[in-house]
Amino acid sequence: MPKLPSPSPSQFSSRTLRSSFARSFPRKSPAPAPAPAPAPAPASAHQCIRASRFSTASAPSSRTHARIPFTISPAPARTYKTVQEARSRYRSGPFSTLAGVLFLASGAGLIFYFRYEKARMERKRVAEAAKGVGRPKVGGEFELIDQRGEAWGSEKMKGGYSLVYFGFSHCPDICPEELDKMAQMIDLVNASPLLSPSPSSADPSRGSASSSGLPPLLPLFITCDPARDTPAVLATYLSEFHPSIVGLTGTWEQIKDVCKKYRVYFSTPSGVKKGEDYLVDHSIYFYLMDPEGDFVEAIGRQHSPEAAARIILSHIGDWAREKR
């Protein structure tokens, strides 16, 4: 076998280096070129017109500004330092103490308002029913004599509220009790800011109303015993109760007529001799009359002075509000 020539040391070293370099860093083949996209299909005339309209409408004008996107960033969640702080925040639930107090106050105010309006409408209904057609009229015109011996007519009752009571000076118990109650009612009612200051005791008649409100309540005591209750007797008797009470008397026929107009029952025993003591049966009511001289309400013995004064003031307040 023929002997091949051995490579020189320089040739051996260059070949060895090239082969080792090729193994360490292999040559990468170039990526294949992408396939060409298919040509678009020819558009119809209608599609071309729509595309041209869209490009024209959506093209921004030279005067418009770039639109800035509007976003609302959520508020950062509240953090609590301690667990106790978080518990105290939600301890009362979704409603706070202040909201509960306001709710209760509003509810109480509404309840009070509706109850007040209900009572006012009931008083108005009673007053209108007292004036209604088909019911017996309470009150009317009269001419009597007061405790000073002067003529006193029912026209003086108009312009303000009046409180009328029928009795007699020789009554042992009921009339004094009712007149004591009447005196308290007078003071309670006339102390209201709805009424003007009381007139002087020298002239207990009503007088005209002032600009501040209605005149004071006018109390009247009409006797059912004209035979014994003269003007002088009434002046002495009524001075023990209240100076503003007006005492009225007259003849038997005059007293009988006014009692009939006010639907007051009274009875005097027959066959009584002159100088003998006797009692008179009569109705026990206070008759409240309005500024027009019409009957409003009858107040009985079951009402205390405070309750009776509240009834009178409620009617006075209703009348003042309606006349504003």
Is 175 marked as binding a ligand?
yes
223, β-bridge pairs: 167
Question: Using CA atoms, how far apart are residues 118 and 106, in angstroms rounded to an integer?
Answer: 18
CB atoms within 10 A of CB 117: 10
243 Cβ contact partners less than 8 Å away, ≥ 6 residues apart:
201, 204
CB atoms within 10 A of CB 213: 16
For the chain, how big is the Rg over CA atoms in Å?
Answer: 53
For residue 155, give the DSSP letter: G
CB 264 within 8 A of CB 282: yes
Question: Using CA atoms, how far apart are residues 314 and 123, in angstroms rounded to an integer?
Answer: 8
Question: Using CA atoms, how far apart are residues 218 and 182, in angstroms rounded to an integer?
Answer: 11
Chain centroid, CA 318 distance in Å? 15
Residue positions counted in the chain: 324
Is 171 marked as binding a ligand?
yes
149 Cβ contact partners less than 8 Å away, ≥ 6 residues apart:
231
Is 48 marked as binding a ligand?
no
Binding residues for Cu cation: 171, 175, 282
Task: Give the residue ranges of the annotated binding site.
Answer: 171, 175, 282
